[in-house]
Amino acid sequence: MHLRFLVPGNVRHGSGGNKYNAKLAEHLTVLGATIETVTVDGDWPVGSPTDRQRFADMLDGGTTVIADGLVASGAPEEIAGALGKGTKVWILSHMALADHHDLEAKALAAATGIICPSAHAAAELQAKHGALNILVARPGVDRAQIAEGSAPPHIVAVAALLPNKRQTLLLEALGQVKDLPWTAALVGTTDANPAYAGEVRAAVEHHGLENRINVTGELTGEALEDQWHKADLSVLLSESESFGMVVTESLAHGVPAIVRQGTGAVEALGNTEAGAALDLSDPNNLTETIKTWLRDEALQQAWRNNAITAREHLQGWDATAATVLKALT
């Protein structure tokens, strides 16, 4: 099977969506599909007329196309035109668009089908747009070594420094537990939103945590593995999250996680009891949870044991790709 995979050119940091796209393409290839990945430049999610024409040109040819929702959701006419010429267009919607409701509704309705990375993301789309032909293909995770942990405990927050990721909320909580021993690292690009990255750095100084918290920038390869190897707990506090692949990445290392209730990260954590899903309408819940975890060695051990157990049941990317390939064929 020949597939063309269209991905946005205006997301340059290591986002969850970018990683999902790359891993899906890689493992579809392993399963025997021929994948042509094309980066579509443009000011997405809507783009200029020139951008949309470029997108339309990529849809031409009567093949099967998977198009990232960031590119496709603002171009319903181009999708409808391609289907009229015999191209099958599947929209890979990582997350519903914050704006452009009508454009997105028309694009989703025009598409052959929609792929979502979680039941949470699918439910959000259907809440906005009604019944849709959605395939849920949850992200896989790569096998990893069990983290050794650190003394004092080391907390990691692996996410781009963006307002939605709410690193400042974590810093407020850590500022309240300075009397307890711990270190932390904020691992993620500082380039995606320099103004917010500046706020994060200012908050580190405001709370007097310069010697406790490392703002590392984006890490990959051995440098990222080193952070996971040292970690005892990971934290993902995003206000919206379609799945939160960093949560399963954490579990793959035997590291428990704290996530926000009401987001797809709860789905990623599952019923593992390897951490907690918190109601953060009261930020004090985060402070108290971290404080309890730091003070209670039995709780630390229970969460770690549960994460190591959960690690054995995580889905690989081969299963994600097989789910998608079956639907497309």
Cβ neighbours of residue 176 closer than 8 Å, sequence gap 6 or more: 287, 291
Question: 10 by DSSP, 3-state: which?
Answer: coil
CA angle 262/266/270 to nearest 5° reads 150
**Which contiguous run of DSSP H or E holds residue 178?**
none
Say how far residue 208 (Cα) sits from the centre of its chain.
30
Centre a 10 Å sphere on the Cβ of residue 157 and count the other Cβ atoms it contains. 24
Say how far residue 239 (Cα) sits from the centre of its chain.
12
Residue spans in the chain of domains classed CATH 3.40.50.2000: 2-140+317-328, 154-311
Q: Rounded to whole angstroms, how far apart are CA atoms 5 and 316?
A: 20
| pLDDT, position 72 | 94
Q: Rounded to whole angstroms, how far apart are CA atoms 237 and 260?
A: 5
CATH architecture of 154-311: 3-Layer(aba) Sandwich (3.40)
| pLDDT, position 17 | 86
pTM: 0.93
Q: Rounded to whole angstroms, how far apart are CA atoms 237 and 170?
A: 8
Residues belonging to the chain: 329
Q: Say if residues 260 and 238 touch (Cβ distance below 8 Å).
A: yes
pLDDT tens-digit profile, the chain (329 residues): 999 999 988 766 667 888 999 999 999 999 999 999 999 888 888 889 999 999 999 998 778 999 999 999 989 999 999 999 999 999 999 988 888 999 999 999 999 999 999 999 999 999 999 999 999 999 999 999 999 999 999 999 999 999 999 999 999 999 999 999 999 999 999 999 999 999 999 999 999 999 999 999 999 999 999 999 999 999 999 999 999 999 999 999 999 999 999 999 999 999 999 999 999 999 999 999 999 999 999 999 999 999 999 999 999 999 999 999 999 98
CATH architecture of 2-140+317-328: 3-Layer(aba) Sandwich (3.40)
Cα 21 to Cα 7, 288, 299, 310: the distances in Å are 8, 37, 36, 24
Phi-psi group of 170: left, alpha or beta (phi > 0 → left; psi -120 to 50 → alpha; rest → beta): alpha
Going by C-alpha positions, the residue among 99, 139, 106 that lies closest to residue 121 is 139
| pLDDT, position 46 | 87
